[in-house]
């Protein structure tokens, strides 16, 4: 079963064709990665899928339903969540409060009872806090529950963002560079967490430049170049694809010192 189907999608900004004629489907229950050089259109694709941008052309279906043009909150209510390439954390709020923000969909269900602070809402607030605390434990941040986010280490904040996205109980979770700026130990924690999230039944789409993380966790990889699909398939196939090596992996490997510089 597919969870997401993208058909002939296009989005431009002035003269820049950020996404052009892109089609692909993502299988439910798997870990997918989207890779490609800077400016390939990965974040734009996330913005289109989550309803932040309207496409110029094409169709997006989530859970078999056409959702093209629906606003982000509607898609969120259907089970679509994402994290952002740049941290979107409230620094003065505690970790548990940051996660509770992600639950707002569920907490603010009935506006009227909350105006009168009915007992059901007080209870619901207490439940939300308890659920948020458990989510923090799930992402390995049990020690930071009452810590202001501003006092937490960077790697922990990346996982706090994931906990907040999970609080809305997504079926599909899009992660935009969750390991960017993380050291090796923090990246390993993200790796483990992605696998735990997938094991809990959430379909994951990872955009990431750390190739060892991508190659280690992914079931399936989609390679973007200039807004178009360069290749897609299982990890071993992508790793061996000459076009992918030339456009992307070669440069990355060379940067990492894995490929000897040409002689002469
Ligand atoms: N809001 C915008 N307005 C104008 N141009 C944009 C906008 N968003 C993206 N672009 C352009 O679209 C192209 C794709 O950008 P995008 O951010 O999607 O790339 P990316 O693959 O996420 O890159 P990176 O790996 O650096 O995050 C780039 O040329 C970028 O400058
Ligand atoms: Mg990006």
- Ligand 1 closest atom vs CA 227: 14
Looking at the predicted structure, is the pLDDT value of residue 152 above 60?
yes
Measured in angstroms, how far is the CA atom of residue 114 from the centroid of ligand 1? Answer: 41
Beta bridge partners of 233: 221
Confidence of residue 260 (pLDDT cuts 50, 70, 90): very low
Q: Whose CA is nearest to atom 6 of ligand 1?
A: 13
pLDDT tens digit sequence for 97-131 = 999 987 765 444 445 555 555 666 666 778 889 99
218 contacts 239 by C-beta, under 8 angstroms: no
pLDDT of res. 14: 94
pLDDT tens digit sequence for 5-33 = 999 999 999 999 999 999 999 999 999 99
How many other CB atoms are there within 10 angstroms of residue 234's CB atom?
11
Q: Whose CA is nearest to atom 2 of ligand 1?
A: 13
Q: Give the DSSP letter string of the chain.
A: -EEEEEEEEEEEETTEEEEEEEEEEEETTSEEEEE-STTSSHHHHHHHHTTSS--SEEEEEETTEE-TT--HHHHHHHTEEE--SS----TTSBHHHHHHHTTHHHHTT-HHHHHTT-HHHHHHHHHHHHHHHHHHHHTT-GGGTTSBGGGS-HHHHHHHHHHHHHHT--SEEEEESTTTT--HHHHHHHHHHHHHHHHTT-EEEEE-S-HHHHHHH-SEEEEEETTEEEEEE-HHHHHH-HHHIIIIIHHHHHHTT-SPPPP-
More confident residue, 42 or 112: 42
Q: Is 47 in the pocket of ligand 1 (CB under 6 A)?
A: no
Measured distance between the N- and C-terminal CA atoms of the chain, rounded to whole angstroms: 52
Measured in angstroms, how far is the CA atom of residue 109 from the centroid of ligand 2? Answer: 33
pLDDT of res. 245: 87
Confidence of residue 243 (pLDDT cuts 50, 70, 90): confident
- Ligand 1 closest atom vs CA 44: 18
Ligand nearest to the CA of 11: 1
Measured in angstroms, how far is the CA atom of residue 107 from the centroid of ligand 1? Answer: 34
Measured in angstroms, how far is the CA atom of residue 5 from the centroid of ligand 1? Answer: 22
Q: Is 39 in the pocket of ligand 1 (CB under 6 A)?
A: yes
Q: Whose CA is nearest to atom 7 of ligand 1?
A: 13
Looking at the predicted structure, is the pLDDT value of residue 219 above 80?
yes
Q: Which fold has domain 1-78+212-264?
A: Rossmann fold (3.40.50)
Closest by Cα among 211, 169, 205, 165 to 45: 205
Residue 135 tokens read as 């989510």
Q: Is 69 left (phi over 0), alpha (psi -120 to 50) or beta?
A: left
């Amino acid at each position: 079963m597919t969870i997401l189907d993208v058909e002939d999608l296009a989005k431009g900004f002035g003269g820049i064709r950020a996404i052009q004629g892109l089609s692909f489907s993502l299988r439910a229950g798997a870990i997918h990665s989207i890779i490609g050089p800077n400016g390939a259109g990965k974040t734009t694709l996330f913005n289109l899928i989550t309803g932040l941008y309207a496409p110029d052309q094409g169709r997006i279906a989530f859970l078999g339903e056409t959702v093209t043009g629906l606003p982000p909150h509607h898609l969120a209510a259907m089970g679509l969540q994402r994290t952002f390439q740049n941290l979107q954390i409230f620094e003065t709020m505690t970790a548990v409060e940051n996660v509770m923000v992600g639950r707002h969909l569920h907490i603010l269900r009935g506006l009227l009872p909350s105006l009168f602070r009915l007992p059901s809402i007080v209870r619901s607030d207490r439940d939300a806090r308890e659920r948020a605390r458990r989510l923090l434990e799930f992402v390995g941040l049990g020690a930071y529950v009452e810590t202001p986010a501003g006092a937490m280490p960077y790697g922990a904040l990346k996982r706090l963002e994931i906990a907040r996205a999970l609080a809305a109980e997504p079926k599909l979770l899009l992660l935009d560079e969750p390991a960017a700026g993380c050291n090796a130990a923090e990246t390993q924690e993200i790796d483990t967490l992605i696998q735990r999230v997938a094991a809990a039944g959430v379909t994951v789409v990872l955009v990431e430049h750390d190739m060892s993380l991508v190659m280690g966790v992914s079931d399936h990889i989609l390679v973007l170049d200039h807004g178009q699909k360069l290749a897609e398939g299982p990890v071993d196939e992508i790793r061996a694809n000459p076009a992918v090596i030339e456009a992307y992996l070669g440069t990355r490997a060379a940067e990492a010192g894995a490929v000897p510089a040409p002689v002469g």
